[in-house]
């Protein structure tokens, strides 16, 4: 299959809608990362997503909608807490879990009775969904376990010959995936951290937000637990005695004839002036935007030594992705 990359315009949206209607898979940009979309109403189309990614069938997909008023078509009920979250944060980088009705096919939800719903802020994403007139289920558009794609070229690198179309909306803004939440009474459980943080939920909605990273979705055997966004080379995060430890790890790698690279804070680059260094950003927001792209770009080194980011509003979300990329390696 030939994989086309097309800029978003009327012709592209029409083609995308035709492909989705025919049960095909189309990659599209959102404000978080690129998604791999299919109609959530078409079992065979949904199966193609899992095949293209090599994704385990027990990992559910998020259903993307263009408008808030469409949510009620696919869910059984909406609690007061869910209504508040929808009103406050949608469209935006949050996926809210609802009890599903029978319209969304079971393959989307890994056989469970809940569905995660997201309304992207990205205009291109919403236009694409609106043209298809379908609920679009989508995971990130990378091969399973690879860093998520933040530009169309990353999608092409992983999906060439596997899907017919990639809509190229340029680089994504946020760079890491949506916050996934489940509600219980006034409590909001964070299953996956993202740009919308616990603190934002508590402050803006007067709700109780609690961390509850869903470990049941992560394979339990040692060593495989954190392989999610792994680059081709080794990676280690440095959180303690940062400058000394980074310099030590770098020198050790050089002594072993390895090629290391340092991902650091802009403010700290001066401490590594004579070394192979790339600035990930000045704070956790900028670092999130750059992380996945840089993991792909610099994985031809032997070791990525990444500085921990303790500043900005995405500290938790960024660390969640970094620790998985590094397979849990941290000093």
Interface ranges with Mg ion (CB under 5 A):
140
64 interacts with ligand AMP by CB under 6 A: no
Binding test (CB under 6 A) with ligand AMP, winner from 9, 57, 59, 244: 59
Count of other CB atoms within 10 angstroms of residue 249: 17
Among 115, 134, 237, 261, binds ligand AMP (CB under 6 A): 115
Of the candidates 306, 270, 268, the one whose C-alpha atom is nearest the C-alpha of residue 288 is 306
To Mg ion, the closest distance from the beta carbon of 30 in angstroms equals: 12
Q: Does residue 179 touch ligand AMP according to CB under 6 A? A: no
Q: Count of alpha carbons within 13 Å of 273, Cβ hemisphere only?
A: 2
**Residue 261 Cβ vs ligand AMP, minimum distance, rounded to whole Å:** 25
Q: Would you tell me how many other CB atoms lie within 10 Å of the CB of residue 256? A: 10
Taking CB under 6 A as the criterion, the residue among 126, 127, 192, 230 binding ligand AMP is: 192
Shortest gap between Cβ of 139 and Mg ion (angstroms)? 5
Among ligand AMP, Mg ion, none, residue 112 binds (CB under 5-8 Å by kind): ligand AMP
State in angstroms the smallest separation of the CB of 112 from ligand AMP.
6
Binding window for ligand AMP (CB under 6 A); candidates: 10-18, 59-67, 233-241, 265-273: 59-67
Size of the site for ligand AMP (CB under 6 A): 17
Establish if 62 lies at the interface with ligand AMP (CB under 6 A). Answer: yes
Query: What is the rounded CA–CA span in Å between residue 164 and residue 268?
Result: 43
Find out whether the peptide bond into 304 is cis, omega within 30 degrees of 0: no
221 CB-contact burial (10 Å; exposed 0-12 / middle 13-18 / buried 19+): exposed
Say how far apart CA 211 and CA 205 lie, in whole Å: 16
Cα–Cα dist 198/200, whole Å: 6
Instruction: Kindly state the DSSP code that residue 142 receives in the 8-state scheme.
Output: S
Which of 194, 172, 169 minimizes the C-alpha distance to 181?
194
Helix (H, G, I), strand (E, B) or coil at 149: coil
Does 76 bind ligand AMP (CB under 6 A)? Our answer is: no
Which residue of 107, 168, 177, 307 would you call a contact of ligand AMP, by CB under 6 A?
Answer: 177
Q: Which is nearer to ligand AMP, 61 or 261 (CB)?
A: 61
- 257 torsion bin: left (phi>0), alpha (psi -120 to 50), beta (else): left
Would you count residue 140 as binding ligand AMP (CB under 6 A)? yes
User: How near is the Cβ of 33 to ligand AMP at its closest, in Å?
Assistant: 8
Decide: is 111 part of the binding site for ligand AMP (CB under 6 A).
no
Output 126 or 182, the one with its CB closest to ligand AMP: 182
288 binds ligand AMP (CB under 6 A): no
CB of 260 to ligand AMP, least distance (A): 29
Smallest separation, CB 27 to ligand AMP (Å): 12
Q: Which residue is nearest to Mg ion (CB)?
A: 140
Residues 163, 26 contacting (CB under 8 angstroms): yes
The entry of ligand AMP, Mg ion, none that residue 62 binds, CB within 5 to 8 Å by partner kind: ligand AMP
Question: Measured from the CB atom, is 50 or 263 closer to ligand AMP?
Answer: 50
Neighbours of 215 (CB within 10 A): 9
Kindly list the distances between the CA atom of residue 145 and the CA atoms of 56, 196, 224, 232, in Å, as whole numbers in the listed order: 11, 23, 10, 11
**In degrees, to the nearest 5, what angle opens at C-alpha 210 toward C-alphas 206 and 213?**
145
Q: Given the rule CB under 6 A, which residues bind ligand AMP?
A: 59-60, 62, 97, 109, 112, 114-116, 139-140, 177, 180, 191-192, 214, 217
């Amino acid at each position: 299959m030939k994989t086309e990359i097309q800029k978003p315009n009327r012709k592209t949206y029409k083609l995308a809608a035709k492909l989705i209607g025919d049960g095909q898979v189309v990659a599209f940009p959102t404000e978080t990362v690129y998604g791999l979309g299919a109609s959530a109403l078409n079992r065979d189309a949904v199966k193609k997503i899992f095949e293209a990614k090599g994704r385990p069938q027990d990992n559910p997909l998020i259903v993307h909608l263009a408008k808030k008023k469409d949510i009620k078509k696919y869910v059984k009920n909406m609690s007061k807490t869910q209504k508040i979250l929808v009103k406050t944060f949608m469209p935006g980088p949050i996926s809210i879990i609802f009890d599903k009705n029978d319209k969304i096919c079971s393959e989307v939800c890994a056989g469970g009775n809940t569905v995660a719903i997201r309304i992207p802020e990205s205009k291109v994403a919403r236009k694409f969904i609106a043209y298809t007139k379908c609920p679009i289920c989508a995971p990130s558009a990378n091969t399973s376990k690879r860093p998520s794609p933040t530009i169309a070229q990353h999608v092409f690198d992983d999906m060439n010959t596997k899907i017919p179309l990639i809509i190229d909306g340029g680089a994504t803004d946020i760079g890491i995936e949506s916050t996934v939440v489940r509600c219980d009474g006034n409590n909001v459980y964070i299953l996956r951290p993202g740009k919308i943080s616990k603190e934002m939920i508590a402050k803006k909605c007067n709700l109780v937000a609690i961390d509850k990273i869903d470990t049941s979705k992560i394979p339990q055997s040692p060593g495989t637990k954190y392989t999610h966004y792994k680059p081709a080379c080794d990676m280690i995060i440095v959180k303690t005695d940062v400058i000394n430890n980074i310099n030590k790890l770098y020198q050790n790698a050089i002594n072993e004839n390895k090629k290391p690279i340092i991902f650091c804070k802009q403010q700290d680059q001066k401490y590594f002036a004579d070394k192979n260094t790339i600035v990930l950003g000045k704070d956790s927001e900028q670092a999130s935007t750059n992380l996945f792209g840089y993991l792909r770009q610099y994985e031809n080194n032997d070791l990525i030594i990444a500085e921990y980011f303790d500043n900005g509003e995405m500290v938790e979300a960024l660390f969640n992705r970094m620790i998985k990329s590094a397979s849990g390696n941290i000093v």
